[in-house]
Structure 1
Amino acid sequence: MQNGKVEKKTVGGGRPTPGYSLTATGEKVPDEQIQEWISELVMGEGFAYGYRKLTIQLRRDHQLVISKKKVYRLCKAMDLLRPQREKRIPYPKKLARNRIITGSNQLWEMDVKYGYIEGEERFFFVLSLIDVYDRSVIDYHIGLSCSGSDAVKTLQRALFKRQQFEQANKPVIRTDNGPQFISHAFEAACERFGIEHERIPPRTPNMNAHIEAFHRLLEEECLGRMAFDSYEEAYQAVMEYMKFYNERRIHSSILDLPPHKFYKKAQTESLIIKEVRV
């Protein structure tokens, strides 16, 4: 989690950037979501496209009102311009595979959820890491941006909390193809921590079903229920919801217990729940 400090993005001359683009119907789409779509086009599907063709594809697939200049800037920030793509990728992509999960700390899922601050007309980001067996949100990041470095810090805190650094069999980390997760910083950290990172194929959110389900709850029970006037207000609301979800909200798939209570009981008792297939 961040400390709540608010920083505004700027470009040359100090002009603030909006951090989003509009669709043809006027819906605001944050830059981080656009970067995820770009990474799926370039790395997920192997499109040998430069920024000009990527712009056309984004307009066609997502009805974005976006300029070539902006797509160039987003690609440059991700090191996805064509000269960079010709370089050897040091961390090969590992596709997610079917698994049967029988206990905690076997498979963790990570993803990013976007919220909107009406009073400041900008987005904020919630990166959550969930254990698919006990459903606990082990750690999370809230911020006005969400980078590969933020994902690394969240993962590191989760490994410390679950005392996994000294374990021979560490959790597998499953993500989509978001810019945070294809970054050099995140892949290098996974290798350094000695954990396996697998990514789901593009357009297969069902393979990240547990974190997707949690983020739907976060939207329905927190983000979608109030209009935030400030980042501080949004930050506080998300923190309170995370505590409620982990410590008080009962979950039918884990014996009608809150995630944290189920996890603690499972450490000392033999609890039987439905097999988790992912």
Structure 2
Amino acid sequence: MEIAQKYMGQGHAISSVLRVLNVERSTYYAHVNRSQQGKENIHRAGRPAPGLSYTQGGKPISDEQICEWIMEFLAGEGSNYGYRKLTILLRRRHKLKIKKKKVYRLCKEMDVLRPQRKLKIKHPRRLANNRIITGSNQLWETDIKYGWIHGEQRFFFLMSILDVFDRAVVTYHIGLTCEAKHLVQITQEALMRRQLFDKAEKPTIRTDNGPQFISHLFEEACTEFAMVHERIPPKTPNKNAHIESYHSIIEQECYQQNEFESYPQAYEGVSQFIQDYNRIRIHGSIYDLSPYEYMEAVKQGTVKAKQIKV
């Protein structure tokens, strides 16, 4: 490096010297930086604030005047505004060409920044727990499956509630929209179908973290229904394995076998498939019985209930 510095001291260009000596620029500058360690640190500040802004017509406005306008807003209509809305007022009322970053700086210097809002978690998330399922109505899983209407070139939604023990689809919603209110409706319907609405012990309902499932409306409904709602961690569909398997079945055996031309046709086809799924379609995991046959066989004692680890 001493040789390189010698030639540079003679007026040769840095790039030419480094190229002749076959030295990388990064290696050279790293050496220079190391050689300067221990010396007095040089503070390199950014460019100073200009102290003014301009109107849309090009007229300069001092920061002092802008601060006065901000204080006027805060004393009147903008008393509850943060720096972003104050920026909008400055642009609209005084035709200033000003960025919200500068307004933030001025507000900070005047100590008038509003405290940042803290999100209030009304319903803290309860993570899915490992457990052993020994009977129906202990754990339900719910999720959403999209379907395609070829004739109308749009999607429809299927939201189902599935009992992990007996594999039956307790109830479902099919529609062109799928909102939290629909989830609340089918949850209430599922409790009524299983005659659990007035029972003390309710199933735990397990979901992923979709917007319908994390909504306040659904959490409030679970509290009202006295149900425990647990959510799987992100990117862990195996925690919702049973309804994911059901979705795979309906994709292969219903959606791919039918080209729906209209929403009524899709509604009828999917509804019929779910009825056949519950009553007719056999499952290898439950003694090659359908969900309803398995429920009846367990009730009659003709088969041994299978414990399920989730």
Aligned equivalents of 2:288 and 2:117: distance in 1?
Answer: 48
Secondary structure of the structure 1 residue equivalent to 2:135? coil
Secondary structure of the structure 2 residue equivalent to 1:126? strand
Aligned equivalents of 1:148 and 1:160: distance in 2?
Answer: 19
Question: Does the CA-based 8 Å contact 2:135-2:305 persist in structure 1?
Answer: no
Q: Counterparts in 2 of 1:134-213, with a 5 A limit?
A: 134-213=166-245
Q: Residue 127 of structure 2: which of 95, 102, 110 is its match?
A: 95
Question: Does the CA-based 8 Å contact 2:203-2:227 persist in structure 1?
Answer: yes
Aligned equivalents of 1:190 and 1:271: distance in 2?
Answer: 33
Aligned equivalents of 1:182 and 1:175: distance in 2?
Answer: 9
Aligned equivalents of 1:274 and 1:105: distance in 2?
Answer: 14
Q: Residue 249 of structure 1: which of 281, 290, 302 is its match?
A: 281
1:262 positional shift: 1.4
Per-residue displacement from partner, 1:41-87 (whole Å, max 9, x unpaired)? Answer: xxxxxxxxxxxxxxxxxxxxxxxxxxxxxxxxxxxxxxxxxxx9843
Aligned equivalents of 1:241 and 1:165: distance in 2?
Answer: 27
Q: Residue 105 of structure 1: which of 114, 119, 137 is its match?
A: 137
1:114 aligns with 2:146: yes
1:112 positional shift: 0.3
Question: Does the CA-based 8 Å contact 1:148-1:181 persist in structure 2?
Answer: yes
Structure 1 residues 264 and 211: CA distance shift in structure 2, 3 A: same
Equivalences, count: 196
Q: Residue 265 of structure 2: which of 227, 230, 233 is its match?
A: 233
Question: Does the CA-based 8 Å contact 1:105-1:171 persist in structure 2?
Answer: yes
Secondary structure of the structure 1 residue equivalent to 2:146? strand
Instruction: Tell me the residue number matched to 2:303.
Output: 271
1:271 positional shift: 3.1
1:261 positional shift: 1.8
Question: Does the CA-based 8 Å contact 1:253-1:273 persist in structure 2?
Answer: no
1:198 positional shift: 0.1
Q: Counterparts in 2 of 1:31-110, with a 5 A limit?
A: 86-110=118-142
1:266 positional shift: 2.2
Structure 1 residues 195 and 85: CA distance shift in structure 2, 3 A: farther
Structure 1 stretches of 4+ with a deviation exceeding 2 A read 84-87, 264-271
Instruction: Tell me the residue number matched to 1:215.
Output: 247
Question: Does the CA-based 8 Å contact 2:160-2:172 persist in structure 1?
Answer: yes
1:222 positional shift: 0.3
1:273 positional shift: 4.1
Give the structure, 1 or 2, with the largest relative contact order (CA under 8 Å, sep 6 or more).
1
Structure 2 unmatched ranges of 5 or more: 1-115
RMSD: 1.7
1:267 positional shift: 2.7
Instruction: Tell me the residue number matched to 2:83.
Output: none
Per-residue displacement from partner, 1:63-115 (whole Å, max 9, x unpaired)? Answer: xxxxxxxxxxxxxxxxxxxxx98431211110101111001000000000000
Structure 1 residues 203 and 158: CA distance shift in structure 2, 3 A: same
Structure 1 unmatched ranges of 5 or more: 1-83
Secondary structure of the structure 2 residue equivalent to 1:233? helix
Secondary structure of the structure 1 residue equivalent to 2:299? helix
**Residue type matched to 1:212 in 2?**
E
1:131 aligns with 2:176: no
Q: Give the TM-score normalised by structure 1.
A: 0.68
Aligned equivalents of 1:135 and 1:174: distance in 2?
Answer: 14
Secondary structure of the structure 2 residue equivalent to 1:88? coil
Question: Does the CA-based 8 Å contact 2:134-2:305 persist in structure 1?
Answer: no
